[in-house]
Structure 1
């Protein structure tokens, strides 16, 4: 093997050896792959939408919708058929629909896509219908796919002559697995941009720095740098082949993401409380009790003395009792963890609603060092 070929082989193998080295030595604790922390900028799906007509319905279409009538006229005009002016066909067996699909990154012409079909008007059910060829457009109003096929509808709707109706799931929407064909690829621009940008799913400065450091340690240079709490900019040679190889290697690098910030999530409507493990409690004492006041009414009839001019009357008799449930005061020491909080709250028998009140009081007292999010 000549020296230039040997040099090219080493340039290819060294990064792979560096990538495998952390696996041999042991991955860091709680490490995650970079591909699970975010995505490369430009490598994303695109939404497609189309307007079409579903035919073959068993009298469950929307015959009163002008959009369906106009759409049907457009369909038949493709085959050289022109409907007379002023005549609108009854379309109980057809329905106007919106068709949606996601165009994956790097999708090529000829590939198949799953589509979702939803009724636009008053169609009761799309069960048994067939979608007529419908162009799917992107945000730039260009056609990227064509959809057509038989619908799979999971819902069921039944109505009686007296107006009673029974519906199971949603019969006015369905799917066509593989019902669209890609007609045009979307240019991502990742192979010509000066740099690659990796965006984290959740903004965190520490995680962004660790991702950049993990990439630099793997490749043995300073090609990656965190530009903000979300984005990591990576220098890359031009050309799709080299960049795809580098992106695949970067996605499998393992880094330890930063711990999540301390948060307490409270849903006041359902009483759900979620506390993450980063929450700590500063010294505090909690007393939680319950007072029950009971009022019992026992009226009795009072009869007058014989041969008197008195009248029968009702004498009110009330009894009031107060029951106060005594529970011990809970003392939180400094730096109490999530386990300590749960144990203490269970000890005083607090319900979810009571726990919300306790957490809000701790936050107001300055003992709860966490973000309190109320949904």
Structure 2
């Protein structure tokens, strides 16, 4: 950009007095500036994380009590055995066969332990039924130890459940909203053992990890660190990691050094991707994803099969004789309709956005557009990664 400014300055001195040419040159420089501004840089902290920053999964088995007859049935032996074990801790001895309650449900409790969590901090927990309980509405979780993959207890969970749904049934009628067998407890777990995150590797260096691996982006990250913080201290190890050798004068103020790394501006490279969700009919693609010259013909054939059931009721059954009864008669009809014209789209050096807009104009459904995109990818005309969800 500095070279452009020097050239423009020289041309301005040469074209002094030629207002028309100066105005044209000004528009050209403005266009270049707009092109430079269009490439937006992003902070490193939004592109990845330092090695050692990770959440740890915790899980536990517990009981939810206080349900209004919507808990596990009597055929669930695990729940009755758990109730028996819990009552034995309070000096009450009952065999599982002596317990007959539908106000209790066996559940699994999940939580994520932050690497910076300290003893006494609260964690949000998710409670899910593992039995045949109909609903957890109104229930409270008993004290449940939460363990890590190493089998150690890191937190204790308990509290009243918040369930975003309900289920009521009576006389064969069922009314249900969302999933009443899943609940949550905000700050329902208390950390008992804290973790200490290790940001430095065995060599005493920092490692920055990209969320999306890309050789171009990781090279730009290493170059930005070397150019702004410490010359030659950053090296790209692979497509997702940059190893940073901490300068000697920064080792005693590591937090400040990491803060400056996080706030460096880098322009990430972007892969061309088209994401398609067939279940919901959603298409997400970059507006500049290119497609080759292609011709698309899309027709519409509808087949409708309808069945009408009627009851044939005989008249004067008593006079007709024995064995005469009501009969069900089914009338089936098949209708086939085809549009007289089919949609035709010719794409010449267009983008996916242009193609979708053209298909929408001829009233092509979203699921048909998904089929068209898959066919274009199979034909080798779509220069992007097609992700089907």
Q: Given the two structures, how large is their TM-score scaled by the length of structure 2?
A: 0.70
Q: What RMSD over aligned residues (CA atoms) do the two structures have, in Å?
A: 3.3
Question: After the TM superposition, which of the residue ranges 344-353 and 113-122 deviates more from structure 2?
Answer: 344-353
1:266-277 correspondence to structure 2 within 5 Å: 266-267=276-277, 272-277=282-287
1:76-155 correspondence to structure 2 within 5 Å: 76-79=87-90, 81-85=91-95, 87-155=97-165
From 185, 193, 213, the counterpart of 1:184: 193
**Residues 73 and 248 of structure 1: is their aligned pair in 2 closer, same or farther, counting only changes over 3 Å?**
farther
- CA–CA distance in structure 2, aligned partners of residues 157 and 345 of structure 1: 43
- CA–CA distance in structure 2, aligned partners of residues 341 and 178 of structure 1: 48
**Residues 73 and 206 of structure 1: is their aligned pair in 2 closer, same or farther, counting only changes over 3 Å?**
same
- CA–CA distance in structure 1, aligned partners of residues 371 and 81 of structure 2: 59
Number of aligned residues: 317
Q: Does 1:257 align with 2:268?
A: yes
From 176, 180, 185, the counterpart of 1:171: 180
> Could you say which residue in structure 1 is the equivalent of 2:219?
209
- CA–CA distance in structure 2, aligned partners of residues 57 and 367 of structure 1: 58
Q: Does 1:370 align with 2:379?
A: no
User: SS in structure 1 opposite 2:126?
Assistant: strand
- CA–CA distance in structure 1, aligned partners of residues 372 and 174 of structure 2: 47
**Residues 332 and 346 of structure 1: is their aligned pair in 2 closer, same or farther, counting only changes over 3 Å?**
farther
Question: After the TM superposition, which of the residue ranges 234-243 and 189-198 deviates more from structure 2?
Answer: 234-243
User: SS in structure 2 opposite 1:288?
Assistant: strand
Q: Does 1:279 align with 2:295?
A: no
Q: CA contact under 8 A between 1:117 and 1:174: conserved in structure 2?
A: yes
Q: CA contact under 8 A between 1:262 and 1:277: conserved in structure 2?
A: no
User: SS in structure 1 opposite 2:68?
Assistant: coil
Q: Does 1:67 align with 2:94?
A: no
Q: CA contact under 8 A between 2:167 and 2:180: conserved in structure 1?
A: yes
- CA–CA distance in structure 1, aligned partners of residues 104 and 369 of structure 2: 55
- CA–CA distance in structure 2, aligned partners of residues 132 and 272 of structure 1: 42
- CA–CA distance in structure 2, aligned partners of residues 292 and 170 of structure 1: 38
Q: CA contact under 8 A between 2:222 and 2:235: conserved in structure 1?
A: yes
User: SS in structure 1 opposite 2:297?
Assistant: coil
Provide, for residues 122-147 of structure 1, a one-character-per-residue CA deviation record: whole Å limited to 9, x for no partner.
22222222211110001111100001
Q: CA contact under 8 A between 1:116 and 1:173: conserved in structure 2?
A: yes
**Residues 74 and 191 of structure 1: is their aligned pair in 2 closer, same or farther, counting only changes over 3 Å?**
farther
> Could you say which residue in structure 1 is the equivalent of 2:11?
none
**Residues 141 and 28 of structure 1: is their aligned pair in 2 closer, same or farther, counting only changes over 3 Å?**
farther
1:20-39 correspondence to structure 2 within 5 Å: 29-39=39-49
> Could you say which residue in structure 2 is the equivalent of 1:332?
348
Provide, for residues 183-237 of structure 1, a one-character-per-residue CA deviation record: whole Å limited to 9, x for no partner.
1112322256422222111111011111111222221322221111111112237
Provide, for residues 225-284 of structure 1, a one-character-per-residue CA deviation record: whole Å limited to 9, x for no partner.
1111111112237999733332222222111001x22234445666554432342234x3
- CA–CA distance in structure 2, aligned partners of residues 83 and 347 of structure 1: 73
In structure 1, the gaps of 5 or more residues are: 1-25, 294-321
Provide, for residues 149-186 of structure 1, a one-character-per-residue CA deviation record: whole Å limited to 9, x for no partner.
111222212121x2322112222221111111001112
**Residues 71 and 276 of structure 1: is their aligned pair in 2 closer, same or farther, counting only changes over 3 Å?**
same
Q: Given the two structures, how large is their TM-score scaled by the length of structure 1?
A: 0.73
**Residues 123 and 267 of structure 1: is their aligned pair in 2 closer, same or farther, counting only changes over 3 Å?**
closer
- CA–CA distance in structure 1, aligned partners of residues 256 and 182 of structure 2: 41
In structure 2, the gaps of 5 or more residues are: 1-35, 303-337
- CA–CA distance in structure 2, aligned partners of residues 182 and 240 of structure 1: 31
> Could you say which residue in structure 2 is the equivalent of 1:56?
66
- CA–CA distance in structure 2, aligned partners of residues 52 and 241 of structure 1: 46
